[in-house]
Amino acid sequence: MTTIREDRNVKRTAAAIPAEPGSDREEQTLSAVAYRRLRQDIVSGVFAPGQPLRLELLRQRYGLSFSPLREALNRLHAERLVVAAALRGFSVAPVSADEMWDATETRILIESEALRRSIANGDDAWEARIVAAFHALELQARRTRSNAASDDDVWQLEARHREFHHALIANCRSPRLLGLADQLHAETQRYRLPSLTGGSRAAIRDIAGEHREIMEAALGRAPAEAVTLLAAHYRRTAEERAAALFSD
């Protein structure tokens, strides 16, 4: 009891300070905390696909009350990461080959268009961001592959990968396309294979090379080629995952 009140007072005070730029800003509401943490835990597989998300369990895990949890679950439901059955609560959305391919092809549709527009609007800052993201991704990939990769290394690699793909389409000037790309990224991310993250199969595919080709086509203002390469990149990833997860 006391601990809770103390905690909350601390947060209040912190929230009153107007968010120093550059620093990790304090979350504004508990609903936002619940949303962020739940999304992360679903995408990263802490909760298995199909698993019922019992409110009492979540309440204990996150130390929150029902209201913010239900709000977060409703948002995730709209994003297709959880399914809801009336009067029977929420579950993690199930996975299947069909769902994975639907998410993958929809992602290709969205990001292809976003990439075309991003190239058309491309400027110096856009190019610089892509080059920087590619470089950071390569460094982190090497770091993750070489020595025994820590969990943080794997997490960093995913963040760099996300940033690289986001940088490519960042100049498309469509808030909807960017939002959908983010959402579909989260959905496809659920099919990521733990065994492959730094494993042997990765060597078969020259992922870094694929990234480089996409980047060069984008910077060279060759939209058709860039889109073809990007689609192939995503389809290869999906095929790899389908083969391992659904044993086609």
Partner DNA sequence: AAAGGTCTTTCTTTCGAAAATCCATCCTGC
Partner DNA sequence: GCAGGATGGATTTTCGAAAGAAAGACCTTT
Question: Which residue, 37 or 162, has its beta carbon nearer to DNA?
Answer: 37
3-class SS of residue 53: coil
**Nearest approach, Cβ of 59 to DNA (angstroms)?**
8
Question: Which residue, 75 or 116, has its beta carbon nearer to DNA?
Answer: 75
**Nearest approach, Cβ of 185 to DNA (angstroms)?**
26
Six token digits for residue 108:
């290709």
Q: Which residues contact 125 (CB under 8 A, 6 or more apart)?
A: none
Question: Which residue, 8 or 201, has its beta carbon nearer to DNA?
Answer: 8
3-class SS of residue 87: coil
Residue 174 binds which of a copy of itself, DNA, none (CB < 5-8 A, kind-dependent): a copy of itself
Residue 177 binds which of a copy of itself, DNA, none (CB < 5-8 A, kind-dependent): a copy of itself
DSSP 167-236: HHHGGG--HHHHHHHHHHHHHHHTT--GGGSSSSHHHHTTHHHHHHHHHHHHHTT-HHHHHHHHHHHHHH
| Contacts with a copy of itself, residue ranges (CB under 8 A) | 28-29, 31-32, 67, 70-71, 74-75, 77-80, 86-87, 102-103, 105-106, 109-110, 113, 174-177, 179-180
